[in-house]
């Protein structure tokens, strides 16, 4: 089955991957000094998925959506937390 190359689908995938890995990382106890660590570590699978969608699967629009969610999320973490 072929995945449709859509910008909105890429944004949805990027947000879902971040939420899944953030929930997984929130199960581990983090100290007070590591307040940004779960957020920033949860963005790593999005970056890997971005590269795979562009290079391996040739889904350019989907990759751009994943990149947008990852980039905006990182900016929000740095400026709001």
Other beta carbons within 10 Å of 34: 12
pLDDT at position 46 is: 92
Domain ranges of the chain: 7-80
CA-wise closest residue to 14 among 45, 51, 59? 45
8 Å CB contact between 77 and 34? no
pLDDT in tens, 2-53: 778 899 999 999 999 999 998 998 888 876 667 778 888 889 999 999 999 9
pLDDT at 64 over 90: yes
Whole-angstrom distance, CA of residue 57 vs CA of residue 72: 23
Total Cβ atoms within 10 A of residue 67: 20
pLDDT mean over 50-68: 93
pLDDT reported for residue 13: 94
pTM of the complete model: 0.86
């Amino acid at each position: 089955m072929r995945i449709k190359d859509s910008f909105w689908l890429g944004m949805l995938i990027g947000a879902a991957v971040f939420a899944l890995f953030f929930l997984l990382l929130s199960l581990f106890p983090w100290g007070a000094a590591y307040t940004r660590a779960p957020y920033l570590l949860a963005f790593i699978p999005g970056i890997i998925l971005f590269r795979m969608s562009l290079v391996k699967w040739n889904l350019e629009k989907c990759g751009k959506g994943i990149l947008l969610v990852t980039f905006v999320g990182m900016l929000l973490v740095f400026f709001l937390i």
